[in-house]
Chains A and B, each alone.
Chain A
C-alpha cells in the first residue's frame, strides 16, 4: 500500500514536471519571438522547507526547467533558494512552494 502511494506520488511529480516543461518551452518561444512581451524580471528569494540535499537538488533542477524561473544560488545554510524570474509577479514564490515543493516533500517522505 505504501509502495503504491509512493509510486503514485512520483508519477504525479513527473507528469506535473512534463507539463510544466512543455509550458516553459512555449513561454520561452513566445518571449524570443516577441521580446517586448517581458515587462519585468526579478531575482527572488524562496524560503525552503525541503531539508535534504536530494530534495534541494531536485527542486533546484525543477525550478530551472519550469516556466520563467532559473535557479541562481542556494544560501550557505540551505534555507533559501534564489531564482531569476522572467515574467515577475507577486505570486511566483507561492506558486513554487505550493506546487513543486509540496510534491517533492510528499515524494521524499
Chain B
C-alpha cells in the first residue's frame, strides 16, 4: 500500500517536472528532451504504483506490456516531431555550439511566403472527377 503510494507520488512528480520543462527550457529541441525522457518514466512509475495496489499476475503482465509500448513508441514520436521541427525551421537557441544537420536536411521548408498560394488549380482538379465519373 505504502509502496504503491510512493510510486504514484514519484511518478506524478516526474510527470509534473516534465510538463514544467516543456514550459521552461530554451528551445524546441530541449523541450523535446523533457517531454520524452521524463514523459516515459513518469507514466511508467504511475502504472507500477497502480499495479502494486492490487498485485496479481494478470495486472503485472498488462503493466509490463504497457511500459514496453511506451518505451517503443515515445522515442519514435519524438524522432518524428524533432525532424518535423527542424524541417519546419524552428530556431535554435544561442547556446547551440554545433549544427551538423544544417547542410544535410533542408530547413525552413514550411515557412510562410508572400507568394499567392495556388489553391485554385488543385481544387478544380479534385472537383472534376466526380462530375465525369458517373457518365462513364
Contact = CB atoms under 8 A, between A and B. Distances in A.
A46 B40 CA distance: 24
Contact of B86 (A29, A31, A73): A73
Given A64-B36, A64-B78, A72 B101 contact: yes
Contacts of B92: 41, 43
Nearest to A39: B95
B38 A29 contact: yes
Contacts of A64: 36-37, 74-75, 78-79
A42 B100 CA distance: 8
A18 B93 CA distance: 30
Contacts of A94: none
Interface in A28-83: 28-29, 31-33, 35, 38-45, 60-61, 64-65, 68, 70-73, 75, 80, 82
Contact of B101 (A28, A33, A43, A65): A43
Interface residues of A, number: 34
Interface stretch (B14-22, B115-123, B127-135): B14-22
B34 A28 contact: yes
Interface residues of B, number: 41
A88 B98 contact: yes
A29 B83 CA distance: 24
B35 to A, nearest CB: 9
A8 interface: no
B41 A25 contact: yes
B79 A60 contact: yes
B24 A25 contact: no
Nearest to A63: B75
A21 interface: yes
B109 interface: no
11 contacts: A25-B38, A28-B33, A35-B25, A38-B95, A41-B29, A42-B98, A64-B36, A70-B32, A72-B79, A72-B86, A73-B82
- In the A-B complex, the 7 residue pairs with the closest CB atoms: A64-B75, A32-B21, A45-B100, A42-B98, A61-B75, A40-B97, A84-B29
